[in-house]
């Protein structure tokens, strides 16, 4: 319980620091936030002054900061000039798609990665181990945006199996039955998820392999085997649970890179998620939107890491000790 | 009195183990080979990287004898671009990693040696920095000023990447700080600076070196991604990232433009990871050495 | 209810003619216990309470007690590796606790420390030659080739071959590493060396060698030792005076002869009876103490030893009064309210102890 409170406090401090940092960034950005709107001839100086007052840009730094925090607490992240709506609304529309993408990928990648890692550990040194090892090695090395392009090329252009992008086929008849709609959604989901899964499976499988080998050699496992417990049972009951711990922890640590990877993958597949939103916002000089995405992304990461920490501590209490290195850490 | 057993010294032993490991040797050769290639390649290539050869006839020529990697939409020789871009990408990655390693080590040393309060404050900041998705962070930093000079880009990327090193160094320093031999140096009358330089830093150097080697792979991919999005290295200067961007629009009709630089990236990352793993094994033999 | 009686400053040998080299008065060290959500201080551990003693130049003062009695903490407080919470430490007329920065570092030359753990106290990434040389570099005592020669002669002095200076600690055994630690301490030519259980981590056969080395060094260089140990047998032949500590306090202090032949405190007697004898068949009168050692975070009231004490006169007063350290005989101090001052009488079990010890020839 006490650990949970500490973690929540920790997460809160992190978010507060990031919010402050983003405030500084927004203020430091050269030019008036309304510069993009300057081209609009209907924006008279008087009107501009009104807008500036409305956004608290005319006060001292202190009041501006207070204003910023207050609006964050309200959920008001500013106005997005490129999409002509409040930032929060733009993000709220996009975030679920990103979460769908990342969530599905995490689930599949974990199951696949853990299974592959276990297969490798069981057949250590053999041909299967080496093959899977080679694949995961490459999976670790390939750039996310490039892999997405390759997937697109192979899956959509060459094999013509999957749609070129987007979340759903807009041309489906409205009255189509739900299995058809679901299938359509699934087809659109395949390539982006496959890309992310390949990227995720590699480190998971490698870590799982190392963690399992580490534990299988551990004293207490050997004792169980010596006591006469069947090897499979030893594996399933004893080694399994603790080997999951570091993998889950790694998941927590890898979360930021997942959100980063989403930016590229969503762009390639025209997936309307927060990542693509951020990239487009940059191109459109919509600074408030960019900052909003950063903030929301960080909050997601913090929540995710806290969850991962909690779960992995439950799985293997040793991980809560300072300096304990489960298997070897990842890059 | 018994004769003590003969062992190799620490660093020399590490180098020996490293050179005996085939994986590390291959990886190091690949990296050096690539570095050499991009260093002299652009000068030896038959075409200039930015020269538009014949906008009417030589657009999107597939790989052939004349153009080993084909041409792009502006009839530029892709091989020449890849070599020239390689220079930029590799230089970028190594300098950014150098900066982020130095910054991270200094902050980590400072936090590791400081009292509880200061350490907690600094580490909260480090945690915050590490929690922000690096790509988003960079987008936010680069958005208002897209056409920054290259050196500023390097610094910005480094600025988002020192957190992991700082955490690592701080952890090691805090662990070593309470060992008896540090107390012994203290008892001898060593100043804090001397303890930091002579006793703490050498212990920290190993893991930092490993992390930095692996980071080169990450940063080169990161820079490529940013350039692909348009916020990194700007045209007409080639970088592997923006070459891929040039080819993205025409992916189905001229895939070689995007594919070639990608394979180069994969090669660099593979080599950096393999060498980093080899380094890790060489510096800590017997500690969970799994092939 | 505790009645706290402050102890009077205790003297050294009673000689009075020469000033002691080291003078400790009222040394105390309390560690806070942190817990709770914001790492608040929830309690404290009284590691060392009101410790006072003198060490004269050239003598060996042994500080003995079981684990957790505060002897190591006392040693480190004297060196200011740990900052004392209260008290004073005067070395060669200089108030050690008031020194700062460069002055403190310069002072460290004169008081050195040999650590207990020969494995952890040497930097695994430095050659032993560099380890020994470090003191010379810090205090600018020698440089370059001259420094190397000094290192070589130091190594030979402690019984190591000079060629080994380029090797690393992991290539040596525990006893050899401890010699390196001793050489390192000697390099800066100190007057006073605190030996923190220097042989506890070594094999018994090696212990004697190292103790002999320490004796030779003391004789050749005129050193003064503070020898910390948990085993009276180790200090039997080395100590001039002995201080016995229990739960952070001094319970008895006397010259070695007197302490080993006529101990007053029940605890000292128990310690003595625990010294192993070479003849396994010799009749033994082991005094086994009841109960477990108490926790320094929650010490017993009054006399800290009272739960385990076997003094025939033990009563309720023992749980209420913290006994002061009083001179019970010439140069013989003890902290017990049941032992009359001015005499060195002791009760029956110790008498039996004495007769047994004088009957058996002492082990070398």
Same domain, A251 and A189: yes
- Is residue A327 included in any domain, yes or no? no
Chains with ≥3 CB–CB distances under 8 Å to A: B, C
Task: Please give the pLDDT value at position A309.
Answer: 82
Which residues are paired to A79 by β-bridges? A86
**Does the pLDDT at position C217 exceed 80?**
yes
Please check whether residue B191 touches C, CB under 8 A. Answer: yes
As a whole number of angstroms, the distance between CA A262 and CA A98 comes to: 7
C-alpha C137/C-alpha B84 separation (Å) is 51
- Residue at A238 is within a domain: yes
The reply to whether A60 and A98 lie within a common domain is no
Residues A191, A50: one domain? no
Residues B131, A281: C-beta atoms closer than 8 Å: no
Range of the domain at A42: 2-80
Query: Chain-wide mean pLDDT for chain C?
Result: 82
Given 1.10.3720.10, 1.25.50.10, 1.10.8.10, 3.90.1530.30, which CATH number is that of B3-44+67-283? 1.10.3720.10
Instruction: Answer yes or no: do C112 and B188 touch at CB < 8 A.
Output: yes
- From chain A, which residues contact C within 8 Å (Cβ)? 2, 5-6
- C189 confidence band (pLDDT: 50, 70, 90): very high
Task: Tell me which of A80, A108, A136 is where a domain ends.
Answer: A80
Question: Into how many domains does chain A fold?
Answer: 2
Q: How far apart are CA A194 and CA A274, in angstroms?
A: 19
Chain C neighbors (3+ CB pairs < 8 Å): A, B
ipTM (interface pTM)? 0.84
Closest-CA distance of chain A to residue B1, Å: 36
Burial of A169 (0-12, 13-18, 19+ CB in 10 A): middle
Is there a domain that residue A326 lies in? no
pLDDT of C312 strictly over 90? no
Residue A164 lies in a domain: yes
**Domain co-membership, A178 together with A197:** yes
CB neighbours (10 Å) of residue A151?
A: 21
What percentage of chain C has pLDDT greater than the value 90? 40
Domain boundaries, chain C: 22-92+191-359
pLDDT tens per residue across span C318-328? 888 888 888 87
A/B interface, count of CB pairs below 8 Å: 159
Superfamily of domain C22-92+191-359: P-loop containing nucleotide triphosphate hydrolases (3.40.50.300)
Chain C residues whose CB is inside 8 A of the A4 CB are: none
**Coil vs helix vs strand at A238:** helix
**Contact flag B187-C172 (C-beta cutoff 8 Å):** no
Determine contact: B266 vs chain A, CB below 8 A. yes
Considering only CB atoms, B188 lies closest to which of C120, C135, C172, namely C135
Give me the residue label for tokens 């990542």.
Answer: A275
Strands (E), chain A: 79-80, 85-86
pLDDT classification of C11: cutoffs 50, 70, 90 = very low
In terms of domains, do A216 and A262 share one?
Answer: yes
**Does residue C115 belong to the interface with chain B, where contact is any CB pair within 8 Å?**
yes
* Best residue in C35, C36, C37 for a mutation probing chain A (most A CBs within 10 Å): C37
The percent of residues in chain C predicted with pLDDT above 70, rounded, is 85
pLDDT at B19: 83
The distance of A6 to chain C (nearest Cα, Å) reads 7
Inter-chain residue contact B231 with A282, CB threshold 8 Å:
yes
**Residue where a domain stops, chosen among A54, A80, A106:** A80
Question: Are residue A135 and residue A268 in the same domain, yes or no?
Answer: yes
Residues in chain B: 291
As given in the structure block, the two tokens for residue A222 are: 């050997």
Tens of pLDDT, residues B152-180: 899 999 999 999 999 999 999 998 888 99
Tokens of residue B211, six digits: 């992390």
pTM of the model: 0.80
* Structural domain boundaries in chain B: 3-44+67-283
Closest CA of chain A from C197, distance in Å: 29
**pLDDT for res A176:** 67
DSSP C201: T
Interface membership of B255 toward A (CB under 8 Å): yes
- Average pLDDT (B7-19) is 70
**Angle ∠(A254,A257,A261) on CA atoms, nearest 5:** 135
Q: H-helix or E-strand containing B168?
A: helix B163-177
**Which three-class secondary structure state does DSSP give residue B37?**
helix
d(CA A198, CA A113) in angstroms, rounded, equals 9
Judgement on whether residues A53 and A123 belong to the same structural domain of the protein: no
* pLDDT interval class at C4 (50, 70, 90): very low
CA-closest candidate to residue B271, choices B92, B93, B26, B19: B26
How many angstroms separate the CA of residue B172 from the nearest CA in chain C?
Answer: 15
At residue A207, the pLDDT reads 83
With an 8 Å Cβ cutoff, is C13 touching chain B? no
**Residue B112, min C-alpha distance to chain C (Å):** 18
Q: What is the pLDDT of residue B158?
A: 94
> Do A65 and A160 belong together in one domain?
no
> Average pLDDT, stretch C202-225?
91
Host H or E run for residue C60: strand C60-64
Those residues with Cβ within 8 angstroms of residue B89's Cβ, 6 or more apart along the chain or in another chain: B220, B223, B224, B239, B240, B241, B265
Give the SS3 label for residue C228.
Answer: strand
- CA-to-CA separations, B225 to A66, A152, B240, in angstroms, rounded: 36, 17, 9
Q: What is the pLDDT of residue C229?
A: 92
Q: What are phi and psi of B48, to 5 degrees?
A: -80, 145
CB of B181 within 8 Å of a chain C CB? The answer is: yes
What tens-digit pLDDT sequence spans chain A (331 residues)? 677 788 888 888 888 888 888 877 777 665 555 554 555 555 566 766 666 666 556 666 777 777 777 877 777 777 777 778 888 888 999 999 999 999 999 999 988 888 888 888 777 778 888 888 888 888 888 999 999 999 888 888 777 777 777 777 766 666 667 777 778 888 888 888 999 999 989 888 888 887 777 776 666 666 666 776 666 666 666 566 666 777 888 888 888 888 989 999 999 988 889 999 998 888 887 888 888 898 899 989 988 888 888 887 777 676 555 444 444 333 2
Strand segments (E) across chain B? none
Same-domain status, A66 and A96: no
Per-residue pLDDT tens over the stretch C135-180: 999 999 988 899 999 999 999 999 999 899 988 898 899 899 999 9
CA-based nearest residue to B91, from B216, B214, B213, B215: B216
Let me know whether A174 and A207 are in one domain: yes
Chain mean pLDDT for chain B: 85
Taking only the tens place, the pLDDT of each residue in C52-79 is: 999 999 999 999 988 888 899 999 999 9
């Amino acid at each position: 319980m006490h650990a949970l409170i500490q973690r929540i406090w920790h997460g809160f401090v992190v978010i507060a620091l990031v919010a402050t940092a983003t405030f500084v960034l927004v203020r430091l950005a050269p030019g008036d936030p309304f510069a993009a709107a300057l081209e609009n001839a209907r924006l008279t100086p008087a009107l501009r002054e009104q807008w500036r007052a409305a956004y608290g840009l005319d006060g001292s730094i202190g009041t501006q900061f207070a204003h910023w925090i207050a609006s964050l607490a309200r959920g008001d992240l500013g106005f997005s000039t490129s999409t002509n709506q409040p930032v929060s609304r733009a993000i709220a529309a996009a975030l679920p798609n990103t979460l769908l993408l990342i969530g599905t990928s995490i689930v599949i990648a974990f199951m696949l990665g853990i299974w592959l890692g276990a297969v490798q550990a069981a057949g250590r040194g053999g041909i299967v181990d080496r093959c899977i090892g080679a694949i995961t090695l490459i999976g670790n090395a390939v750039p996310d945006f490039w892999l997405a392009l390759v997937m697109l090329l192979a899956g959509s252009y060459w094999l013509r199996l999957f749609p070129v992008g987007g979340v759903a086929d807009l041309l489906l008849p409205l009255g189509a039955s739900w299995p058809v709609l679901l299938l359509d959604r699934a087809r659109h989901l395949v390539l982006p998820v496959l890309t992310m899964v390949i990227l995720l499976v590699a480190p998971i499988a490698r870590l799982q392999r190392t963690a399992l080998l580490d534990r299988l050699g551990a004293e207490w496992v050997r004792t169980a085997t010596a006591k006469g417990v069947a090897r499979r049972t030893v594996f399933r009951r004893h080694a399994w649970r603790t080997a999951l711990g570091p993998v889950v922890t790694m998941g927590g640590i890898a979360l930021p890179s997942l959100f980063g990877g989403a930016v590229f993958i969503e762009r390639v597949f025209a997936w309307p998620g927060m990542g693509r939103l951020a990239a487009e916002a940059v191109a459109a000089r919509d600074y408030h939107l960019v900052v909003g995405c950063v903030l929301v992304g960080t909050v997601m990461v913090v929540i995710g890491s806290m969850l991962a920490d909690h779960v992995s501590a439950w799985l293997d209490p040793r991980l809560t000790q300072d300096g304990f290195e489960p298997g070897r850490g990842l890059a | 009195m018994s004769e003590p057993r003969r062992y190799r010294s620490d660093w020399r032993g590490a180098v020996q183990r490293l050179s005996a490991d085939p994986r590390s040797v291959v990886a190091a050769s690949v990296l050096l080979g690539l570095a050499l290639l991009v260093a002299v390649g652009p000068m030896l290539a038959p075409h200039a990287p930015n020269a538009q050869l014949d906008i009417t006839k030589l657009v999107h020529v597939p790989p052939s004898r004349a153009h080993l990697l084909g041409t792009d939409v502006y009839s530029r020789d892709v091989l020449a671009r890849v070599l020239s871009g390689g220079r930029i990408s590799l230089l970028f990655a190594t300098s950014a990693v150098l900066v982020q390693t130095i910054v991270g080590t200094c902050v980590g040393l400072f936090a590791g040696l400081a009292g509880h309060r200061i350490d907690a404050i600094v580490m909260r900041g480090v945690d915050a920095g590490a929690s922000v998705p690096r790509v988003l962070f960079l987008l936010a930093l680069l958005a208002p000023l897209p056409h920054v000079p290259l050196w500023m880009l390097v610094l910005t990327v480094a600025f988002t990447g020192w957190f992991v090193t700082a955490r690592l160094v701080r952890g090691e320093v805090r662990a070593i700080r309470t060992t008896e031999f540090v107390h012994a140096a203290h008892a001898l009358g060593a100043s804090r600076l001397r303890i930091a330089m002579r006793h703490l830093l050498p212990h920290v150097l190993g893991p930092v070196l490993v992390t930095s080697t692996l980071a080169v792979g990450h940063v080169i991919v990161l820079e490529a991604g940013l350039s692909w999005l348009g916020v990194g290295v700007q045209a007409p200067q080639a970088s592997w990232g923006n070459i891929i961007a040039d080819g993205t629009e025409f992916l189905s009709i001229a895939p070689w433009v995007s594919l070639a630089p990608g394979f180069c990236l994969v090669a660099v990352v593979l080599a950096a990871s393999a060498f980093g793993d080899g380094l890790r094994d060489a510096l800590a033999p017997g500690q969970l050495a799994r092939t | 209810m505790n009645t706290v009686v402050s102890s009077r400053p205790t003297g050294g040998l009673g000689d009075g003619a020469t000033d002691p080299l080291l003078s400790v008065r009222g040394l105390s060290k309390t560690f806070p216990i942190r817990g709770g959500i914001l790492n608040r201080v929830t309690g404290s551990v009284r590691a060392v309470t009101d410790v006072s003693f003198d060490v004269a130049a050239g003598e060996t003062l042994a500080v003995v007690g079981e684990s957790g009695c505060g002897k190591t903490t006392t040693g480190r407080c004297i060196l200011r590796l740990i900052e004392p919470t209260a008290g004073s430490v005067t070395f060669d007329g200089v108030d050690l606790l008031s020194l700062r920065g460069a002055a403190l570092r310069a002072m460290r030359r004169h008081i050195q420390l040999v650590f207990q753990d020969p494995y952890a106290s040497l930097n695994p990434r430095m050659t032993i030659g560099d380890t020994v040389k470090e003191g010379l570099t810090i205090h600018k005592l020698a440089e370059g080739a001259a420094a190397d020669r000094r290192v070589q002669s130091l190594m030979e002095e402690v019984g190591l071959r000079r060629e080994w200076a380029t090797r690393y600690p992991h290539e040596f055994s525990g006893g050899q590493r401890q010699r390196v630690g001793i050489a390192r301490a000697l390099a800066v030519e100190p007057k006073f060396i605190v030996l923190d259980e220097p042989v506890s981590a070594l094999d018994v056969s090696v212990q004697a060698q190292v103790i002999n080395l320490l004796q030779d060094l003391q004789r050749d260089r005129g050193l003064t030792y503070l020898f910390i140990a948990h085993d009276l047998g180790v200090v039997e032949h080395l100590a001039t005076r002995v201080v016995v500590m229990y739960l952070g306090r001094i319970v008895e202090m006397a010259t070695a002869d007197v302490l080993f032949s006529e101990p007053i405190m029940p605890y000292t007697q128990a310690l003595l009876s625990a010294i192993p004898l070479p003849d396994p068949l010799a009749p033994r009168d082991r005094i086994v103490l009841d109960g477990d050692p108490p926790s320094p975070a929650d010490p017993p009231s009054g006399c800290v030893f009272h739960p385990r004490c076997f003094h025939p006169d033990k009563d309720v007063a023992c749980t209420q009064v913290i006994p002061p350290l009083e001179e019970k005989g010439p140069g013989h101090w003890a902290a017990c309210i049941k032992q009359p001052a001015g005499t060195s009488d002791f009760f029956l079990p110790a008498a039996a102890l004495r007769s047994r010890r004088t009957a058996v020839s002492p082990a070398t």
